[in-house]
Structure 1
């Protein structure tokens, strides 16, 4: 019998946390993810179904929203990423499919992405070395799809001094290296 054991995107048993100067880079592994794409002419019905089931409002372009333990951010026209604590929403995609029925296509995304949360007063200094996204101007709740180094990512401003970066899980080590190298350059 196989004795499989889950590992983080960086290949460890536990999420990695690095503190460099006044910045902390944390690997986030406790979130379930599902993409939701409204089917043709079904966006109003999808919004209504999610509002009824979860009290969730789907955000507009460049935004995010929170409803109880779930959060959502805009990823493209009529498309969103929905996230929730893994221990409460292990079957998030299945649950969203049951609510959305024929109004949307829902796809499990949890193991396709890695997430790093960066906290500290020097967020602007860090991200101006990594991306041309206007991080200093982003308000909490704003989301930008762009690049960080050479990787396609989502930059999600969680708070004034906190940012989430979501990128492809297969590039987790490269993304982490870029974040740590830039943090060291300003420490």
Structure 2
């Protein structure tokens, strides 16, 4: 019998936290992610059906909506990423699909992405070295797709910092870019 143990995107048993003078970079493996795309002509129906489950409206271009348990951010025309704590939501795709039915295509994304949370006074300076997104002008709830270290990532401005969501298969490369930028500004 296999004795499998979950590991983080960086290969650890627990999330890695890197502290610098003025910046903290925290690996955040405890999030469930699901993409949801409205089927043709079903945008309004998806919004109507998703709200009772998510308790947040589906956001417009470049925005997110953050609720008590569920959050959603825009990823494309009539497409959103749904974010929730992994605990209690390991089957998030199934839950979302039950809520929206045939109005949307729902795809499990949790293991396809990794997330690093940046917080501290040096977060903007580090992000300015990493990507062309104007992090200094982003307000809480803004989300953009950008390149960080040649990787397509989401940059999500949240209360108290930024979340960088990138491809899990390149987690170590993304982490290296984040810590290198941190060292250059701290």
Give the TM interval when normalised to the shorter protein. over 0.9
Q: What is aligned with 1:14? A: 14
Structure 1 segments of 4+ aligned residues over 4 angstroms from their partners: none
Counterpart CA distance in 2 for 1:156 and 1:50 is: 21
Q: What is aligned with 2:182? A: 183
Normalised TM-score (structure 1): 0.97
Q: What is aligned with 2:165? A: 166
Structure 2: tracts of 5 or more residues without a match: none
Displacement after TM superposition at 1:51 (Å): 1.4
Tell me the SS of whatever aligns to 1:171: helix
* C-alpha contact (below 8 Å) 1:93/1:106 kept by paired residues: yes
Structure 1: tracts of 5 or more residues without a match: none
1:34-76 Cα offsets, whole Å, 9 max, x none, are 0000000001000000112332200000000023200000001
1:82-136 Cα offsets, whole Å, 9 max, x none, are 0111112111100000111110000001100000000001121101111011110
Normalised TM-score (structure 2): 0.98
Counterpart CA distance in 2 for 1:129 and 1:66 is: 27
Greater alpha carbon shift after TM alignment, 162-171 vs 64-73: 64-73
Counterpart CA distance in 1 for 2:54 and 2:134 is: 32
Alignment of 1:1-187 (within 5 A): 1-159=1-159, 161-187=160-186
Counterpart CA distance in 1 for 2:184 and 2:66 is: 34
Counterpart CA distance in 2 for 1:136 and 1:186 is: 15
Q: How many residues align?
A: 186
